[in-house]
């Protein structure tokens, strides 16, 4: 099918006609995304009987709208409470929460919402035209390239450690050690599981995320009288102020654009996901920033980069599902079940037999983000009031909701205990100056990079030079080297310039 203006208009009006389904899906997605542990795929699984009753185009429209909205909702608790609603919002806490603590919660929310919506619109538009070509990316990115992509995420530990190099690297190494728990990837021998059967698959990400951020933050809250010292009148902006905050966020249009495209490409890679995309985008934004020292203190580009990237992933994960029948993530895997139930083919046959369905899914995602534009204004104004709720109300609610969220994904009571254990680890880390985000990066990327590295070694007969055998991989190695070498050079040059200017003054 040729994507001419008439076809695009037909797809747009068809998707728009399903507003009655998209609007409730967006509301449910935002709510579920804001609750730690209730990821999009959990919600879709709970609503799976409903989606099986719908026609296939209605079911897919409902699922993609809910999926997109959950990524937008994940940034809300990350900014207001230092608790990421989804793994992709973990990087948002690094600067979103400091801005919220400074009394700029409404501004931080506006940055997050604009980055999420605009990033989603950009990537959905790109995917509509480049879907057949993007589907080929997965064929060219193999284990060698995945090793380098994971190293980009690990490089963020060095960026976080810039404030305290030793503590940052220790926290990252501790996270990598925790990520190594579970059965090894060759002989399936248990490592560090303490005989706990539920740890044989490795450390579950959702309980670890909830413990490190949510429970530890609740414990820290109990040491404070209120989350913020400002009153509701000071925190809640007027409608004109909310509008200014929204338009101010568009100043970062370039950062939003390239971060969302980065998220799209990473999303196309099966198994990569929003967490990796958000951390890599944050790290790259810091590396090429003119003021990298402001990252971690409530810097605006540090909020828009990960939010745009994790919303770019939403479109990317659908590309391998539609084009080659390989789900790019857990939510796409649930969608695959619905497509199989309705007898819809995958791969090239889908674009021959059901082209309107293949492209209609992406257009439905585009329309869902358009509807989210309307939700930005009231949410950016009123949600900031959460920051003035007393801790004796907020802390128990956080613990209750998040412990339920830790239980939901796998249904194991052990996961609640794991979340509590990580909560204690996170609390101790916060009190002693170690960054919980560095620990989380290690937990996420440890097993992924180990799997890709071991696969490369087994394919190439344990030859380490195989890591440099791919042209694409070599380009990525070069980019990784630049991101590690450039910051010290730029910092030294800026230091010399400042010293020379000071000498001129005297």
Residue-wise burial string across 385-415, b where 16 or more C-beta atoms lie within 10 A, e elsewhere: bbbbbebeebbeebbebbbebbbbbeebebb
Asked if the structure places residue 474 within a domain, the reply is: no
CB 215 within 8 A of CB 402: yes
Asked if the structure places residue 479 within a domain, the reply is: no
Q: What's the burial of 471, exposed, middle or buried (CB within 10 Å: 0-12/13-18/19+)? A: exposed
Tens of pLDDT, residue by residue over 336-369, are: 778 777 788 776 677 777 878 888 999 999 999 9
Q: Show the DSSP H helices in 180-300 as ranges.
A: 205-209, 216-221, 232-235, 239-249, 253-268, 273-287
Asked if the structure places residue 500 within a domain, the reply is: no
What mean pLDDT comes out for the span 52-79? 89
Residue 492 neighbours by CB under 8 Å, 6+ apart: none
- The boundaries of the domain holding residue 308 are 5-469
Secondary structure (3-state) at 37: coil
Euclidean distance between CA atoms 266 and 152, whole angstroms = 12
Asked if the structure places residue 486 within a domain, the reply is: no
Asked if the structure places residue 494 within a domain, the reply is: no
Asked if the structure places residue 372 within a domain, the reply is: yes
Euclidean distance between CA atoms 130 and 164, whole angstroms = 43
Between 493 and 220, the more confident residue is 220
For residue 101, the model assigns a pLDDT of 85
pTM: 0.81
DSSP 260-288: HHHHHHHHHSTT-HHHHHHHHHHHHHHHT
Euclidean distance between CA atoms 167 and 433, whole angstroms = 7
Asked if the structure places residue 482 within a domain, the reply is: no
Euclidean distance between CA atoms 281 and 289, whole angstroms = 12
Two structure tokens written together for 495: 């230091």
Q: Which of 78, 113, 73, 71 is nearest to 98 (CA)?
A: 78
For the ranges 44-53, 133-142, 332-341, which has the lowest average pLDDT?
133-142
Backbone angles phi, psi at 166, to 5 degrees: -65, -50
Two structure tokens written together for 178: 């925790």
Query: What total number of domains does the chain contain?
Result: 1
Neighbours of 124 (CB within 10 A): 28
For residue 231, the model assigns a pLDDT of 45
Q: What share of the chain is helix, strand, coil (3-state, %, to 5)?
A: 80, 0, 20
Percent of the chain clearing pLDDT 70 (strictly above): 88
Asked if the structure places residue 278 within a domain, the reply is: yes
């Amino acid at each position: 099918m040729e994507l001419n203006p008439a076809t695009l208009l037909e797809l747009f009006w068809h998707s728009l006609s399903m507003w009655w389904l998209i609007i409730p899906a967006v509301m449910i997605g935002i709510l579920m995304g804001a609750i730690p542990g209730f990821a999009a795929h959990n919600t879709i699984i709970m609503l799976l009987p409903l989606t099986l009753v719908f026609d296939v185009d209605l079911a897919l429209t409902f699922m993609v709208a809910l999926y997109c909205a959950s990524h937008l909702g994940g940034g809300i608790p990350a900014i207001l409470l230092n608790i990421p609603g989804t793994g992709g919002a973990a990087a948002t806490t690094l600067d979103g929460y400091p801005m919220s603590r400074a009394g700029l919660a409404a501004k931080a929310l506006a940055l997050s919402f604009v980055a999420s919506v605009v990033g989603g619109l950009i990537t959905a538009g790109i995917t509509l035209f480049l879907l057949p070509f993007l589907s080929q990316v997965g064929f060219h990115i193999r284990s060698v390239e995945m090793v380098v992509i994971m190293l980009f995420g690990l490089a963020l530990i060095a960026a976080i450690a810039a404030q305290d190099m030793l503590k940052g690297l220790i926290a990252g190494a501790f996270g990598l050690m925790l990520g190594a728990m579970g059965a090894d990837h060759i002989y399936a021998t248990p490592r560090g599981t303490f005989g706990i059967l539920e740890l044989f698959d490795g450390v579950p990400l959702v309980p670890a995320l909830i413990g490190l951020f949510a429970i530890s933050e609740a414990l820290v809250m109990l040491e404070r009288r209120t989350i913020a010292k400002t009153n509701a009148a000071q925190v809640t902006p007027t409608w004109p102020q909310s509008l200014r905050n929204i338009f101010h966020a568009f100043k970062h249009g370039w950062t939003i654009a390239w971060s969302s495209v980065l998220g799209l490409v990473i999303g196309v890679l099966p198994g990569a996901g929003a967490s990796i995309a958000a951390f890599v985008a944050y790290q790259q934004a810091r590396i090429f920033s003119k003021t990298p020292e402001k990252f971690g203190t409530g810097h605006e580009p540090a909020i828009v980069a990960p939010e745009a990237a994790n919303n770019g992933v939403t479109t990317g994960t659908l590309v391998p599902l539609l084009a080659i029948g390989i789900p790019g993530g857990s939510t796409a895997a649930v969608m695959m079940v619905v497509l199989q139930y309705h007898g819809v083919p995958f791969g090239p046959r889908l674009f021959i037999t059901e082209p309107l369905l293949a492209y209609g899914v992406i257009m439905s995602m585009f329309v869902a983000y358009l509807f989210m534009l309307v939700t930005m204004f009231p949410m950016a104004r009123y949600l900031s009031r959460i920051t003035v709720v007393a801790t004796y109300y907020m802390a128990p609610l956080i613990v209750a909701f998040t412990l339920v969220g830790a239980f939901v994904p796998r249904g194991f009571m052990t996961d609640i205990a794991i979340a509590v254990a990580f909560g204690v680890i996170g609390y101790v880390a916060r009190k002693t100056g170690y960054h919980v985000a560095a620990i989380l990066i290690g937990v996420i990327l440890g097993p992924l990079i180990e799997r890709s590295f071991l696969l490369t070694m087994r394919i190439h007969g344990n030859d380490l030079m195989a890591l440099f055998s791919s042209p694409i991989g070599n380009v990525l190695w070069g980019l990784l080297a630049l991101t590690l070498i450039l910051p010290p050079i730029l910092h030294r040059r800026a230091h010399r310039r400042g010293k020379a200017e000071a000498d001129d003054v005297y």
